[in-house]
Structure 1
Amino acid sequence: MLHRGFDTLALSIQANIGPKLFEYLEAQKAIAEDEQRELLISYEGPQFLLKPYGGKGYRFLLDGGPDGASWAIKKPNARDKWGIRITFGSFFLATYGLGAAKAHCERVLDCLGVRFGPDDVSISRADFCVDVLVNDLTLKPDNLVMHSSTGRRDHVAQDDIAVHGKSGWVSSVTAGSIANRQVIIYNKRSEVIARGKTHWWDIWNHTLRNGLGNTNAAVTLHKGQPIGPLTPDADKAKHNQVWRVEFRAGKDLLKDTWGIRTWAQFFDRYGDLCRSTGELVRYAEPDPSDTNRSRWPNHPLWDVVCAEMNDDLIEMRSGADPNPMKEVHRAEHIASLLKQVTGTCITIAALEGWEHEELPVAFSGFAERMTDAVNDNPERSAKQLQDAKDRYVFIRQPDAPPT
């Protein structure tokens, strides 16, 4: 087991922002709209990138960076008291945990001058995941078994399955609906490589170095096989695969079925919700002698996942240091931009008729031209530099962990 913890958390607050904050956000959004860019703002301490647009009934959309949350805020309206929506992503939850997410919400809302009580919180989505290092697993959609629960609104039927993959190889199987109960099994290693989510290598390798969770199950799964360190290039074919099992609980399942809305209800009942999901939906080992799918035994992957989800779910976090992960992200972004700049300069050289052996001279000439452009319009170049610093404020330098 390489990682376990919450992957997404969304909640709404029954409160509206005050007139002072509204006026401030209105003025800043006008600037963002005029300049058509995200604007770095700060209000009583917390920093955000304010988007130049709203959406889905929310007037202001703010990004708190990897050490924060995404905030959607409505224009104050006495007839619509649920004026704030907060979403935490995988980096924050994997690095700091659920308790830090709750504390972060309360701290930032206090800075924004928003007053609310325990019953003014409504949790609308919670995804919990377990990443398991598995060798030689071939995902078979037909092995996903849904137990009968006729008449229950959280029922997941066999025809609710979606399959993704290519060239005869299944990369993910999804059962259910995100608005209710959803279970997904997918090749997380492939997704991390495809989407450049490099922080997961640090999180997984931190676990391999330090140990976490059900180590006996991990040893059984990897008997006789190497288990790290994990890299994007190592063992691409069959070994060192990382498969993620994710239990997703939407608003309907949380509120209507389990009566989960507030933090207290969430802490008290979410573990039972996960255990129920692991029983209603299973990844099984087919038994050729038994046509009754419900009697098929669990696949070892499912036993590991359910064992990890039966543990305390509240304070789980990877324990990996977020600052090296941010440094890697920054270095990769610089490398990507440099590659783009180099490609652009080569294109200009081609248009101007330079030969390959003359490229160093051409590049020097481009640098002189760029320097002249900066000197000719220092105010514009200074603003461009500051805008770039603001846009990448959350990865330019290491930050203290959220409080």
Structure 2
Amino acid sequence: MKLIYSGFDGLDVTFKGYLPKAAIDVLERGKEGAIELKQNQPVDIGDFHGFVGPAGLRDGGYSFIVDTGELGFKWFFSKSQRKNNWGIRVSCRSATLATYGFDGTVARMYAELDAIGATVFEEAISRVDFAVDWRLPEGFRLDPDCFAMHGTSKLRGHKEIGGESWRRRRCTGLTIGMMPGRQICIYDKRAEIVEKRKEHWWKIWGIDRNELKASGDQIFRVEIRAGKEHLRKQFGIKSWSDLRAKLGDVFKIALTRICYKTRRWEDHENTSRIPDNDLWVGVRERIENDLFEWSSGATPGVVKQVMAKQQKQIISAMMVGLSANLAVLSRVSPDKLSGLPQMVFDMIFDNVEGDRKAKEFRAKMRKVQRKYEFYDDDGVIYDESTIGACGAENCGGTASPVLQ
């Protein structure tokens, strides 16, 4: 059993405050465009850059949902400019927290609030998730009947288990508890990142995917989630200072109240006398250390380059699939595919030939370019004029276009 990552995996915060009228006007126009075109539209408000969607969020009265990228945030903004309104909410992505750490993520959060011109009076922590990832041997099997609550036998009798996932008679995930209270989840993280194409986690872990597959090892995550009701009612946590003073206690108590034992037990046995599984002991040890000092060691550039490579692979697969459709509809013989590349080239060339068509195509490129930036391995953003002049592949460095 080897620890490969530990750190914050989720953070939701609500702010009492409001946006200036000028920002609301820009978001309103962007939302109208998103509704008309049925896709998120780019918005620029000072140094704030994001994409506004066609819908809001009825729960909480948020009129706008704005995404600032894979290493950014999802913002929810209200139109209201009342000072006592909790009109701003933010949800942090796991990749942002893994890349920048807790303090770095919070700093970037406030930088975006300043950029959009928000007036903020106070914060309320709505949710905090912490994750610990383990590399486990091939023979590890998750057994739901080995979980126990403090002073009781099995969890099943107390309706604590919120859900189980099974694959080929093997339990791959278990959720204990419900949000917005407290949850503990343990699940096959490798299967999850493969299914959801979160390729950047291989870099964060520092593991070669093929090497892991050849070894037969598994990766399981233990994730502890504390929702608004649990934080506020059980521990009186609302502000940043409350969180820093008490969050360690929140998670330590959760791992004491719910335990994963080394074996199943008989009804007459006292579960407190059965040792905890090494997996659980290891998680508890990580929580007992300084929670806010942990980092993954993966730089922003490395993480985002992996996302870019993944995005190009998706686009390439789509182009191949569309080319097959084009071949069939153009009555190209399956035995004479050599002419297909030229057909595709001619079609693209026809759309960029001439001043008017070239201008329209450049406009489309500028719109798409807003979704990308060029980073080197250390996360340094290349100058846009340099990109336009030489292209990322010819700049002599390791720059790579990355999805925002």
User: TM-score, normalized by length of structure 1?
Assistant: 0.85
Task: Give the structure 2 partner of residue 21 of structure 1.
Answer: 23
1:118-165 per-position Cα deviation (integer Å, ceiling 9, x unaligned): xx100000000100111121000001111249xxxxx99742212111
Is residue 318 of structure 1 aligned with residue 296 of structure 2? yes
Paired residue secondary structure (1:97): helix
Contact 1:172 1:187 in 2 (8 A): yes
Taking the aligned partners of 1:181 and 1:264, their CA distance within structure 2 comes to 20
Comparing both chains, which one has the higher relative contact order based on Cα–Cα distances under 8 Å and sequence gaps of 6 or more? 1
Taking the aligned partners of 2:36 and 2:348, their CA distance within structure 1 comes to 27
Taking the aligned partners of 2:176 and 2:244, their CA distance within structure 1 comes to 25
Runs of 4+ residues over 6 Å off in structure 1: none
1:381-401 per-position Cα deviation (integer Å, ceiling 9, x unaligned): 3333222222x325x545549
Task: Give the structure 2 partner of residue 159 of structure 1.
Answer: 159
Contact 2:72 2:92 in 1 (8 A): yes
Match of 2:103 among 92, 99, 104: 99
Match of 2:365 among 374, 380, 385: 385
Shift of 1:64: 1.2
Taking the aligned partners of 1:141 and 1:156, their CA distance within structure 2 comes to 9
User: TM-score, normalized by length of structure 2?
Assistant: 0.85
Task: Give the structure 2 partner of residue 147 of structure 1.
Answer: 150
Taking the aligned partners of 1:329 and 1:14, their CA distance within structure 2 comes to 34
Task: Give the structure 1 partner of residue 317 of structure 2.
Answer: 339
Taking the aligned partners of 1:45 and 1:51, their CA distance within structure 2 comes to 19
Taking the aligned partners of 1:384 and 1:111, their CA distance within structure 2 comes to 26
Task: Give the structure 1 partner of residue 51 of structure 2.
Answer: 49
Taking the aligned partners of 1:276 and 1:326, their CA distance within structure 2 comes to 36
Cα RMSD (Å) of the superposition? 2.3
Taking the aligned partners of 2:128 and 2:99, their CA distance within structure 1 comes to 16
Paired residue secondary structure (2:124): strand
Task: Give the structure 1 partner of residue 353 of structure 2.
Answer: 375
Deviates more, 1:269-278 or 1:193-202: 193-202
Task: Give % identity.
Answer: 27
Taking the aligned partners of 2:94 and 2:359, their CA distance within structure 1 comes to 39
Distance 1:321 1:77, change over 3 A: closer
Distance 1:115 1:373, change over 3 A: closer
Letter in 2 for 1:168: R
1:161-218 per-position Cα deviation (integer Å, ceiling 9, x unaligned): 121112201100111002101001101111111111111111111xxxxxxxxxxxxx
1:49-70 per-position Cα deviation (integer Å, ceiling 9, x unaligned): 1222212221111111133211
Deviates more, 1:62-71 or 1:282-291: 282-291
Letter in 2 for 1:86: V
Deviates more, 1:180-189 or 1:44-53: 44-53
Taking the aligned partners of 1:116 and 1:354, their CA distance within structure 2 comes to 62
Paired residue secondary structure (2:62): coil
Contact 2:15 2:87 in 1 (8 A): yes
Structure with more strand by fraction: 2
Contact 1:134 1:239 in 2 (8 A): no
Is residue 328 of structure 1 aligned with residue 306 of structure 2? yes
Task: Give the structure 2 partner of residue 33 of structure 1.
Answer: 35
Unaligned runs of 5+ in 2: 382-404
Number of positions where the alignment pairs a residue of Structure 1 with one of Structure 2:
368
Contact 2:73 2:92 in 1 (8 A): yes
Paired residue secondary structure (1:71): strand
Taking the aligned partners of 1:45 and 1:400, their CA distance within structure 2 comes to 18
Letter in 2 for 1:65: G
Taking the aligned partners of 1:243 and 1:362, their CA distance within structure 2 comes to 46
Taking the aligned partners of 2:339 and 2:245, their CA distance within structure 1 comes to 68
Contact 1:99 1:315 in 2 (8 A): no
Shift of 1:357: 4.2
Task: Give the structure 2 partner of residue 218 of structure 1.
Answer: none
Taking the aligned partners of 1:379 and 1:274, their CA distance within structure 2 comes to 56
